[in-house]
Amino acid sequence: MSHHLLTHSYPIDIHCHQRRNDEALQILSFDTSDLALAKQSGAEASPNPISVGIHPWFIAKQDIYAAFELLENVCRLTNVLAIGECGLDKCIKTPLETQTAVFRRQIELAEQIRKPLIIHCVRAFNELLALRKALKPSQVWIIHGFTGKPALAAQLLEHGCYLSLGKALLKPKHPVTVTLPNIALHRLFLETDAAEEVSIGAIYSQAAKILGLDLPTLQRQIVANFERVFTHD
């Protein structure tokens, strides 16, 4: 994987959907249904780090064969740091069987090209872990936008997943504020996701407050996590 994209920028936003003015290293997420993604497959691909995947929400809105062809072409670009977001969602109409087939193929692709997965999972963690047990992937799985309770976090961590937390941390009574101190710091990431009104700096500041850490210490830990997950050869 190319290292020229990876800097010690503070802070790191592991998953976002729009380029921001924040002074941070941002991984911008594209779905294959996004027409803007086509530009990324050309010779003038943006140097900005991105992730690319087939989101379960958009499976039914595109030709899935063409989507996989595009994904397989784009995902090998040096600025593509991860596959995703992809995953499982029991709150949408697309049958879970169809979602699982699409997700499974992306898991296999991530293994082939040795890049981590950014995972969307809604009310399907049992199925997610069943896939992980069956496939025994070697690449890192990052559960993005995690808002669950400590017991679920512990289960995911036990099975080798990383957890990325976002704007829910800014809600004082949200369950994830209790979960955060129970997450091993070497498995933690932070993100803005689609929250246009929230800065990654605000999320880092709140996370540091909840953890009882000074901000530079938390930032260094996230950078170390990022380098370990994304800079392997």
Distance, in Å, from the CA atom of 155 to the CA atom of 129, rounded to the nearest integer, reads 9
Question: Given a cut of 60, is residue 182 above it in pLDDT?
Answer: yes
Question: Given a cut of 80, is residue 88 above it in pLDDT?
Answer: yes
At residue 44, the pLDDT reads 47
Q: Which of 78, 77, 110, 82 lies closest to 2 in space, CA to CA?
A: 78
Domains of the chain and CATH, by start: 12-230 (3.20.20.140)
* pLDDT tens profile 28-54: 999 999 866 656 555 445 677 999 999
Contact status, residue 34 vs residue 78, Cβ threshold 8 Å: no
At residue 20, the pLDDT reads 77
CA–chain centroid gap for 226, Å, is 12
Q: State pTM to two decimals.
A: 0.93
